[in-house]
Amino acid sequence: MTKVAVIYHSGYGHTAKQAQAVAKGAGSVEGVSAQLISVDAADQHWDDLAAADAIIFGAPTYMGSLSGPFKSFMDASSKAWFSQGWKDKIAAGFTNSGSQSGDKLNSLVQLAVFAAQHSMIWVGTGLMPGNNSSKGSVEDINRLGSFLGAMAQSNSDAPPELAPPPADLKTAELLGERVAKAAKRWNGKA
């Protein structure tokens, strides 16, 4: 069984919805189990992260970068870094914010650099950008046009039941599926 862990922070529930979609996509691949972990419970899950074949990182974008609680998790992971315990695991990332841009790319760059410090293998969305032509729509997959990781946007007055919208949740799901397939191939199981 190939194991994919999805570890995320969410202050108000929107990024949690995105994380659930990522885990759903990963778990949809045959022979793959997906585990969803909140950074609030990270201390109980270091062994699970060590056992995972792939780790997908996610956090909301706050003040143009990753949220504070997620950054605390990154700092705490230095223990695993010392022994390079996550070396050669597959990695990917996602982020959600209020604005269409909101400087989300900076958060994904932070996640990719973080994964590189752990000597992980970064996987992007592999999705062509949507909503970028006269035939496009906000319902397109990858409507925010991100290759580095999955982006989602949540209107600031919408509850997590309504935001992020279905297109962004589907984009998140496809990232999870892609990472699960990549992890299987990397492990020689597919």
DSSP state string for 20-79: HHHHHHHHTSTTEEEEEEEGGGGGG-HHHHHH-SEEEEEEEEETTEE-HHHHHHHHHTHH
Min separation Cβ 106 and ligand FMN, Å: 9
Tokens of residue 59, six digits: 């956090």
Q: Which stretch binds ligand FMN (CB under 6 A): 21-29, 38-46, 62-70, 123-131?
A: 62-70
Asked whether position 10 contacts ligand FMN by CB under 6 A, the answer is yes
**Closer residue to ligand FMN, CB minimum distance, 17 or 184:** 17
Pair type for strands 54-62 and 65-66? antiparallel
Candidates 54, 58, 62, 172; binder of ligand FMN (CB under 6 A) is 62
Q: Assign residue 157 a region: left if phi > 0, alpha if psi is -120 to 50, beta otherwise?
A: alpha
**Closer residue to ligand FMN, CB minimum distance, 16 or 49:** 16
Q: Which stretch binds ligand FMN (CB under 6 A): 44-52, 91-99, 133-141, 174-182?
A: 91-99
The rounded distance, in Å, linking the Cα atoms of 154 and 164 is 5
Residue type at position 81: W
Residue closest to ligand FMN (Cβ): 102
What are the beta bridge partners of residue 153?
A: 97
Asked whether position 97 contacts ligand FMN by CB under 6 A, the answer is yes
Candidates 3, 14, 170, 184; binder of ligand FMN (CB under 6 A) is 14
Give the footprint of ligand FMN on this chain (CB under 6 A): 10-15, 60-64, 96-99, 102-103, 154, 156
